[in-house]
Structure 1
Amino acid sequence: MIKKTSSPPPTHYIFVLALIGVSGCWLLRQKSVPSPETLAVAQDTPTPKPTPQIIVQPQPVKALAGSLDTVPMFNSNSPEWLKMEGILLSTFPPTRKAVPAAHLNFPFQGRFDLFVHHQTINPKDLQTYYLGVILHNPGSQIVTVDVLQAASYLTQDSPYIKLPHYVENPDNTVYAGPGDRAVHDVLQGKRQVDFPAKLIIRPGQSAMLMNLPMPVRNFEKPQNGRSTLMRLSSSGKVYAASLAMFAKQNPDGTERAPTLAEWQALLDRGNLASPRDKTPSSPQQIGGQLIYSRVAGVAQGSRWQALLVDRPGAKDFTIPQRGKGVSYPIATLRGGRLGTEQIQTAKMLVRYPDTAYEAHGNYGIEYNINLPLYNATNQPETVSLTLETPLKEDRLSQGGLIFRNPSFNFPWFRGSVRLRYKDDRGQQLTRYVHLWQPMGQVLEPLVQLGMPPGDRRSVQIDFIYPPDSTPPQVLTIRTAEN
C-alpha cells in the first residue's frame, strides 16, 4: 500500500510494508482464565518488532559538478588491524630491499597528502605498537618538506560514541572517532605540536615524519587505533613509508620509541605486515558479493571543488519549485552511485595486488561545494540544505532516495562540516556543525533560509570526508511547500 504523507517533507512517500500472517485461531472456551502454562508461553514469546516504514524521496538525483584534483595521497589503511610488525605501505624503490614486492617505487614532489589509519587489539604481551612514517631524499640536493597541516589521534582519546544528530562544533570538542577528530583539525588549518613545521632532509638521507605510540596496556579493553592526516609540500623528490613496530625496551624494562636506524632496518629487511585484509573483488566482476577491501597505495586526489549552478557557464542555482527538491551525491562508489553514472572514488596510482582497486570512501579528501542560490520567483520562499545518508543503492529501485523509520542504529556519517552564508538578517556566519547520522535517518535541515523575491544568497559547504564514515551521502536542496 502506498500513501502520501501529510508530514514534512511533503514530497515523501511512505511504503508501509506489513507482515500479515495467520497461523491458526484461538478457540473460545468456557474457562476465561488462562492456565499458568499458557501464561508462561505467552511471557516467553518475544514481541515482534514493528515493520519499518520505507520512505522514498522522489526528487531528482544529479551528478555532483567538479572533479578531484591530481594531488597524490599516501593512503595507508591495510591491514587495518595489526597482528604483526611490518611494512604497511612503502613507495620506496625495490632495489636493495629484502622483499622487493613490498615497495611500490613512487616518489612524491610538491604537494601531497598522507593518511594513515590502523588499529590493534590484545597484542602480544600487551606491547605498545608504534606507527612510523619515514621520508627519504634520493637526490643530490637538500629537500625541505613543509608540514602544512597535521593531526593524529588515538581511538582511546577519541572513542566511537553515540551523539545527537547535530552539535555545533567550533572548537573540535565534539567527535566520535579518531578520524572524525583528525580531519576536523586539518579542515581548520591546524598542525599539532607533535609534528614539525618542516623537515630538512640531506641528500641520500632519511628522516622520521611520525613516530607515535598506540598503547593498549592499562585500558579496560586492550584495544587502540590511530588516525593521522597530513598535508605536505616537498621541494624535491621524496619516498615515503609507513611501518608498524613494537616499542623497544630500555634497560630498566620501560618502553621507548624505535630509532630512525631501527625503522630503517625494518624498511630494508622487513615484509608486508600480516595477516592481510580480504582480497578485493575485481572491477570487472559481474554479480556476487562486492568486496572493496582496504586501501594501501597512492591515490590521486586531495580536493573536490564543486560549483552548483543551473548549467555550465551560469552564475546562479535557481532554487527548486515549492515542495520540490534536488540531491547531489557525495563519495559515490562502485555499487553505490544512487542512480547517477558518477563514481567519485579516487583512483589508485600504485597499490598492492591484494588491496583496494580504488580509494573507496575518499577518506581525507576535502569537498568544497559552492551554492549561489537564487529565488527567481515573485514570492518569498524558504529553502533548506541537508547533508543526509539514504539507503545505499546503485540504481534507484523505488524511483528516489530511500530512507526508513526507524533508521538503522549504526552511524554511516560522523564528522563535522563548515557552513558559510548570510542569515536572514544579513549577518555573515561561519558555523562548524558535527553530524552523527544513522543510515536512512530523515533529518532536519542543516541550514534553512528565508529568501525574498529575487534574492541571491551564496552558501559554502566544506568538509573533509571523515574516515569513520561509510559512503555515499547526498546534499539535498529543497524549497518548502509553503
Structure 2
Amino acid sequence: MIQTQNLFSRIAGISTLVLCAAGGLLYVKKPVQSVPAKPAPAEIVQAAEVRSLPGQLDNIPLFNSDSPEWVKKEGILLSTFPPDGKKVPAAHLNFAFQGQFNLFAHHFSHTPLNLRTLYIGALLYNPSSAPVTVEVLQAASYLMEPDAPFKQKPALSESPNGEVYSGPGIRAVDSVLRGMRQPDFPEKLLVAPGETALLMNRPIPVRGLEKPINGRSTFVRLKSSGKVYAATLAMYAPQNADGGDPLRGLRQRAPTLEEWQQLLNNGGLAGPRDKTPTPPDGTSGSLIYGRVAGVQQGSGWFAELVDRDAKNLAIPQTGKAISYAISTLRGGTLGTQQVQAGKMLARYPDTAYEAHGNYGVHYNLILPLHNTAQKPQTVAVSLETPLKEDRLSKNGLRFRQPPLDFPYFRGTVRLRYQDDGGYDVTRYVHLWHRVGQVVEPMVKLSLAATETRAVKVDFIYPPDSTPPQVLTVRTLE
C-alpha cells in the first residue's frame, strides 16, 4: 500500500490520491487551470495610394562584401582583382574602380577554434604605371561588441549626435551620413604603380565576451584619381615570430600587408558559403535572395516626390495617404511592380543576383508638400514597414496589431524642414520598427491655406534592415 501511494505521489499534478473509508483508492482529478488564449492578431489596412519611387539609382559603383556573413574559414571575401597569376582565378572578378565608389563590408565570427581573433582586411591595387591617389571621403567601422550591440530601442528616438544605434552596420552608415571619417582611416592613400595598399586591417575579437560571437561592419566613401582594384579578405590572427601561441590567445597580432597579399594570391573563397540564390527566372520553390558579394550599380537615389507633370506634391484629402515605395525587390514591390534593387555588375555565381535591400544606398528624397485647400491642414510624414506583398491584396497597405516580433527597419533618418514657427530644423531620428507595426510619424506640420513647404528626408539604407518600406504622407483629421 505504501509503495503504491509513493508511486502515485510521483505523478502529482495529474491526479490526487484519496484513501476511501472502504479501504479502496479513489482518484480525483485536479481541476486544470485554464490559460487564457492569446487574442488573434488584428489586421489593420491603411488606405493609401501606393506610388513607385521617382528617379533611379545613380552610377556610382558599390563594392558590397556581405557573403559569407558568418565566417568560419579564412579566405577571400570579395576580390575585384584581375585573375591573372592567382591560384584560384574564379575568386577574382576583374572589375576596376575609378572616380567615386563606395565600399561596404559586413561579416561575423562565431566561436572560432580556440577563440582566435578574425581580421578583416581591405586592399587597393594600382595596375597602372603612374601613382594613384585614393581619397577617403567618409569612413566608419564598428564592432557589434562593444561598439554597437543589437539592442531593442524605442520606435523613434532623437539622435542629434549619433548616440542611438542598434547594430554595427546601422552605426557605420549613420556616421557616414553625418560626414564622419574615423581618425584611424587615412585622409588619402597614395598607391604606387603596380603596388597594393592597405585600406583597412581590423579585428573581430571574441575572447572575453559572454558569448563568443562578434561582427564588424564597415562603410567607406572613396574617390580615386585612377583605376584601382579592391579586395576584402578574412584571416585569423597570425603567430608572432617570437613563439607566441595564438591558439592560446597569446601575442596575437594583426596580419601584415605581405600576409594579406599572400592570401589574396594563393587563397580561395572564405567559407562556409551561404545559400545559393533563386535565379531571376525561377518560378518554383522558395524565393531565396542570397547574400551579396560583388559590385553593385548605384550608391544613391535622389528624387523629388511630386505629382505627375507638377512641381509640388498635393497633400491627400483629410484622412487619406500617399505612400512611396522604398527598397522594393522581387516578391516585394507592394503593387508598384518597381524593383529598386541595384543590378550586379560583377558577382560570384553562388551569391545574390541583385543587391536586394540596397544596403549602403543613400536615399535622398525631397517632398514639396502643397496644401491645395482654402484652410489650414495638418500633414504627417512617416517611414513605415507594412507586411510584405508583391501585389496588394486589399485596398491599402496591411499592418497588424500586435506587429510581428522581428525588427525590420532600424536606422537613422535625417529630416530637414521649416517648422511651424518659420525656423529651419535639422533632426536625426533613430527608428526601430517591427514588421507590420503601426508607428507614429517622424514629423507633423501645419500647412496654411495654399502653402507649400518642403520636407527633405534622407538616409543610407541600414544593414540588418529588411525591405520593403514606404515613405508616407498623410493628412490628419
Pair in the same fold by TM > 0.5: yes
> Which of 273, 295, 300 is the equivalent residue of 1:298?
295
Letter in 2 for 1:174: V
The reply to whether residue 60 of structure 1 matches residue 57 of structure 2 is no
1:126-275 → structure 2 map (5 Å cutoff): 126-156=115-145, 157-250=147-240, 251=242, 252=244, 253-275=250-272
2:187 and 2:269 map into 1 onto residues whose CA distance is: 30
Contact 2:77-2:293 within 8 A present in 1 as well? yes
The reply to whether residue 326 of structure 1 matches residue 322 of structure 2 is yes
Q: 1:172-193, CA deviations, whole angstroms, 9 ceiling, x for partnerless residues?
A: 1101100110000000000001
1:282 and 1:288 map into 2 onto residues whose CA distance is: 11
| Structure 1 match to 2:29 | 37
| Structure 2 match to 1:103 | 92
Contact 2:278-2:287 within 8 A present in 1 as well? yes
Letter in 2 for 1:222: P
Contact 2:103-2:221 within 8 A present in 1 as well? yes
1:153 Cα shift? 0.4
Higher deviation after alignment, 451-460 or 263-272: 451-460
Contact 2:379-2:476 within 8 A present in 1 as well? yes
2:137 and 2:189 map into 1 onto residues whose CA distance is: 11
| Structure 2 match to 1:416 | 412
Identity within the alignment, %: 61
2:370 and 2:210 map into 1 onto residues whose CA distance is: 55
Q: 1:91-144, CA deviations, whole angstroms, 9 ceiling, x for partnerless residues?
A: 001110000000000000000000000001100110000000011000000000
Q: Which secondary structure state, in structure 2, belongs to the residue aligned with residue 248 of structure 1? A: coil
Q: Which secondary structure state, in structure 1, belongs to the residue aligned with residue 271 of structure 2? A: coil
RMSD: 1.0
1:129 and 1:104 map into 2 onto residues whose CA distance is: 24
1:170 Cα shift? 1.0
1:320 and 1:347 map into 2 onto residues whose CA distance is: 34
> Which of 48, 68, 72 is the equivalent residue of 1:83?
72
1:55 and 1:134 map into 2 onto residues whose CA distance is: 49
| Structure 2 match to 1:74 | 63
1:90 Cα shift? 0.4
The reply to whether residue 122 of structure 1 matches residue 111 of structure 2 is yes
TM-score (norm 1): 0.91
Letter in 2 for 1:401: L
1:274-423 → structure 2 map (5 Å cutoff): 274-312=271-309, 314-423=310-419
Q: Spell out structure 1 runs of 4+ moving beyond 6 A.
A: none
Higher deviation after alignment, 251-260 or 77-86: 251-260
1:37 Cα shift? 2.2
Q: Which secondary structure state, in structure 1, belongs to the residue aligned with residue 279 of structure 2? A: coil
2:36 and 2:348 map into 1 onto residues whose CA distance is: 49
Contact 2:99-2:223 within 8 A present in 1 as well? yes
2:239 and 2:84 map into 1 onto residues whose CA distance is: 31
2:153 and 2:452 map into 1 onto residues whose CA distance is: 34
1:272 and 1:194 map into 2 onto residues whose CA distance is: 28
**Unaligned runs of at least 5 residues, structure 2:** 1-26, 245-249
